[in-house]
Amino acid sequence: MRHRFISSVFCVSASLALAAPSFAGASFSQSKRTLSEIYADQATSFYCGCEFVKEGKKLVPLHESCGYVPRKNANRASRIEWEHVMPAWAFGHQLQCWQEGGRKNCRKDERFRTMEADMHNLVPAIGEVNGDRSNYSFAMLSGEPRSYGACDMEVHFKSRKVEPPEHRRGDIARSYFYMRDQYGVRLSKQQTQLFEAWDKQDPVDRWERQRNQEIARLQGNENPYISGAHSTGSNVAEQPAESSWLNQVLALLAVIYQALNS
């Protein structure tokens, strides 16, 4: 019986190790360097579709390739930045470290650092667009003018809302659902309904699938909403990530109990 107990404990430890993110300990700066390599053959900005090139350590957008016109900050518009689709504020402010000292304080928190470095939630964006988007929520806006030339990115500063281009809405939805399930980030009912609609309207494309595979290979996990392993149905949307972890633990404890009593 002792042998069976040790074997069961080993199985529990192995299962939990497999369930934990293999990229824990990664940094935001490391992820940005890795993503630069992933995007080497697909060097276009996420929202505006601008081609970009590498000049030294800097990624530079070619505004003429997409008709981009800086709104206000030409300096920041001259570089590509790695934007969190779900902003750091959105997943960070739900953590204790953020509540006790903001993003700077969370630099010491391993869970936050893992979330911040997760490549499934990072995309290349023109710096000015990244700055204007800030931590604003995605939404559908009515009658907002384009402020970035031909780039169909609409920002309403007063309401703190952003409407992205149609061809990026599904990508955004699948990033949010991934972050919700992977880390237990809470989404409102309104957000969930909007993103479910966007997921259907803008299906997974070839590059999104290829990017997902590359990140899975390097980071150790995939976005199941891109690979097709998960559905965005409402029954899934209401289930927090913690419940799936709890079910795993309970099932494994049942195995130990059976081993001890056999």
pLDDT for res 144: 72
Does 245 have pLDDT greater than 90?
Answer: no
| AA letter at 98 | W
- From residue 214, how far is each of 10, 57, 157, 246 by CA, in Å? 31, 22, 35, 29
Instruction: Locate 64 and state its tokens.
Output: 């003429």
Does 44 have pLDDT greater than 50?
Answer: yes
The whole-model pTM stands at 0.80
Quickly tell me which residue has 């099932």 as its tokens.
251
pLDDT for res 66: 97
Q: How confident is the model at residue 196 (pLDDT cuts 50, 70, 90)?
A: very high
Top-confidence residue, 117 or 108: 117
Instruction: Locate 41 and state its tokens.
Output: 């053959």
Q: How confident is the model at residue 79 (pLDDT cuts 50, 70, 90)?
A: very high
Does 32 have pLDDT greater than 90?
Answer: yes
pLDDT for res 242: 43
What would the mean pLDDT of 209-214 be, rounded to a whole number?
Answer: 97
Q: 38-42, 72-76, 101-105, 241-245 — which is least confidently predicted?
A: 241-245
Give the whole-number percent of the chain exceeding pLDDT 90: 73
